[in-house]
Amino acid sequence: MTTLLSTVTDPLQYGFMRLGLIEVMLLGIASGLVGVFVVQRQLTFFAHALPHTIFPAVVLAAVLRVDLAAGALVGAALTLVLVFGLQRHAAVGHSGAVGIVLITFLALGVVFVGLFRVRTADVGAALVGNVLGTSAGDVLLTAALVAGIAVTLWLVFWPLVFTSFDTRGAAGLGLPVILIEVLLLVMVAGTAVVGVRVTGIILTTAELVVPAAAALRWTRRLRPAMALAAGISAASGLAGLMVAYYVPVAPAAVIVLILAGFFVASIAFGTDGPLRRS
């Protein structure tokens, strides 16, 4: 028992581990709160594309020696503007708009890397994550994100639910459907921007999608699903960081594999799971 306890507590003697644990748990809460709506509204492709579309902005931020979060924020805002503008054309639609922006921006980021000969560790960290490099400022930023998402959902929860299931009906009742959609996409974008600093561009999608998809296998009620998704994501972050402390592998990759394990277990044992029915 003492050995087991020391296995958990030994990593906490280091400041970078404590900050990393707090960060992944806060990010897990943010991802869980937003992710349920991402899955319910079939915004998975958008959630996957967004971390990639901010890549050129991150590269430029590295070149200009400004904070990568500021660059990611600008990239996310530009992505939202372009997607909203392009999807208004009937021949393009939402998925088409996201696909066009994704391909263009990702290619632009690769061109920037070659053009400016970018070889900084920060850009590499933006791709694969740098959980153990979390600073106190990162933690405060993520805490502010969680607070902002919580307040926003408290204010617009039922209108957001209504528009998620019946957009035309919500518009008929006079609800500001476009504004509500913008708020949701801004929350997703904010989570992606912060997630890039922790899990990286490549793996941020998993935090936004997998915990919510797993939670919805257990309950279709949104509030319990949000709480469960946040718990799954936070627990995976905690477990992944602990494993990565003892095994020389990238923490972000371990976190995603644990999330995948939760999803497989939810498929098997969830409400309609084959093992539960048996």
Q: Does residue 68 belong to any structural domain of this protein?
A: yes
In tens digits, the chain (278 residues) has pLDDT values of 566 677 777 777 888 888 988 988 898 899 889 999 998 888 888 888 887 888 888 888 878 888 777 888 888 888 888 888 888 776 777 788 888 888 898 889 888 888 887 766 666 666 667 787 788 888 898 899 999 999 999 999 988 988 887 788 888 878 888 888 889 988 988 888 888 766 777 677 888 899 999 999 999 888 999 999 999 998 998 888 888 888 888 788 888 899 999 999 999 887 766 665 55
Q: Does residue 150 belong to any structural domain of this protein?
A: yes
Q: Which domain holds residue 85?
A: 2-270
Packed helices 177-198 and 200-215: angle between N→C axes, nearest 10 degrees:
120
The pLDDT value recorded for residue 177 is 84
- State both tokens at 17: 């581990």
Do 255 and 240 form a contact (C-beta atoms < 8 A)? yes
Q: What CATH number has the domain bearing residue 39?
A: 1.10.3470.10
Instruction: Tell me the backbone φ, ψ of residue 173, rounded to 5 degrees.
Output: -85, 0
Q: Does residue 111 belong to any structural domain of this protein?
A: yes
The pLDDT value recorded for residue 268 is 87
Phi-psi region of 219 (alpha: psi -120 to 50; beta: other; left: phi over 0): beta
Overall number of domains in the chain? 1
Q: Does residue 276 belong to any structural domain of this protein?
A: no
Kindly tell me the sign of the dihedral angle through the C-alpha atoms of 68, 69, 74, 76.
positive
- Written as one letter, the residue type at 256 is V
Q: Does residue 142 belong to any structural domain of this protein?
A: yes
Closest by Cα among 196, 165, 193 to 180: 165
Q: How far apart are CA 96 and CA 94, in angstroms?
A: 5
The pLDDT value recorded for residue 152 is 93
The pLDDT value recorded for residue 2 is 64
Q: Does residue 275 belong to any structural domain of this protein?
A: no
The pLDDT value recorded for residue 225 is 93
